[in-house]
Chain A
Amino acid sequence: DTEVTQTPKHLVMGMTNKKSLKCEQHMGHRAMYWYKQKAKKPPELMFVYSYEKLSINESVPSRFSPECPNSSLLNLHLHALQPEDSALYLCASSQQGFPNQPQHFGDGTRLSIL
């Protein structure tokens, strides 16, 4: 079992739907991340939150909207997605500081867009 919990595990939605992915960690980490992973590809960074503030947006389309309500929670709001957005969405968290600390991943949400 991982210490980063993601819900739901699977999500099927139409292109006009609005849904949200949720991520929770209780390790006291102050950095949280969203990644997108397509089949047989490595994870690709989407967003980074540091101390609950958005610090990196890797030019992600606006149909993906992240939110960090507090230091333990991270959401990804989805609206008007395209079929090519079907992928595994991974959440991760890490401590901040020097030296750089490893990121710990959840098991992801498998998203399918109809």
Chain B
Amino acid sequence: EDQVTQSPEALRLQEGESSSLNCSYTVSGLRGLFWYRQDPGKGPEFLFTLYSAGEEKEKERLKATLTKKESFLHITAPKPEDSATYLCAVPINQAGTALIFGKGTTLSVSS
């Protein structure tokens, strides 16, 4: 069964305290893995796409990496404005249009 699991469910960090979020997946033939950020009352905001093991993408304090079984979202020296729920998703159909999401990691960064 296709599945996406994220851990931890919630993460509290002090400003400047780096950490990583995990997204593990079991799908038959990975056709991309997507990371999103969602703020309360808003829609998910696209962050990164990763297509193959070993690939890395960076944006400001965020870095996403991909292995054959999981992806990590590394947050370096986070700021309070990085507080949000981070979701990962993978497509489960050939066309890549049917996404399943993990349950997300809610990150809180305090100053």
Contacts and interface: CB of A to CB of B under 8 A. Distances in A.
A81 interface: no
A76 interface: no
A100 interface: yes
Q: Is the interface of B mostly helix, strand, loop or mixed?
A: loop
A100 B46 contact: no
A107 B38 CA distance: 10
Nearest to B88: A42
Interface residues of A, number: 30
A102 B31 contact: no
Contact of B51 (A41, A90, A99, A105): A99
Interface of B: 31-32, 34, 36, 41-46, 49, 51, 87, 89, 91, 93, 95-104
A56 to B, nearest CB: 6
A43 B101 contact: yes
Nearest to A42: B101
A56 B43 contact: no
Specify which of B36, B42, B87, B99 lies most central, judged by the most chain A CB atoms within 10 Å of its CB: B99
